Amino acid sequence: MAVYTEVSTKEARTLLRQLKLGELKAMQGCAGGIENTNYFVTTQVDEETRDYVLTLFERLTLTQLPFYLRLMKHLAERGIPVPDPTANAQGDLVFELKGKPAAVVNRLPGKSELAPTAAHCAAVGATLAKMHLAGRDFALSQPNLRGLPWWNETVPVVLPYLSATQAALIQSELAYQNHIAASSAYAALPRGPIHADLFRDNVMFDQVDGELHLTGFFDFYFAGIDSWLFDIAVTLNDWCVDLDTGAHNVERAQSFLAAYGAVRTLEQAERELLPAMLRGGALRFWISRLWDYHLPREASMLKAHDPGHFERVLRERATHPDLLSAVAT
For the chain, residues with pLDDT lower than 50 are 1, 300-301, 326, 329
Q: Number of helices and strands (H, E) in the chain?
A: 10, 9
Cβ atoms within 10 A of the Cβ of 118, count? Answer: 18
Give the pLDDT confidence of 81-106 residue by residue, as tens digits.
Answer: 999 999 999 999 999 999 999 999 99
Give residue 19's pLDDT.
96
β-strand partners of 54:
39, 104
Question: What is the value of pTM for the model shown?
Answer: 0.92
The secondary element (H helix, E strand) that includes residue 76 is helix 65-77
113 Cβ contact list (under 8 Å, min separation 6): 120, 200, 203, 205
Q: Is there a contact between 39 and 27 (Cβ–Cβ < 8 Å)? A: yes
Position 1 scores a pLDDT of 43
pLDDT at residue number 286:
98
pLDDT tens across 36-66, in order? 999 999 999 998 999 999 999 998 888 889 9
Residue 143 pairs in a beta bridge with 225
Q: CA-CA distance, 189 to 198, in Å (whole number)?
A: 20
Domains in the chain with CATH codes: 9-106 (3.30.200.20), 118-324 (3.90.1200.10)
CB–CB of 230/144 below 8 Å?
yes
CA distance 302 to 309: 18
The neighbour count for residue 308, using CB atoms within 10 Å, is 14
Q: Is-contact 256 124, C-beta < 8 A?
A: yes
Query: Distance (Å, rounded) from C-alpha 231 to C-alpha 263?
Result: 15
pLDDT attached to residue 204: 98
Distance, CA of 245 to CA of 179 (rounded, Å): 28
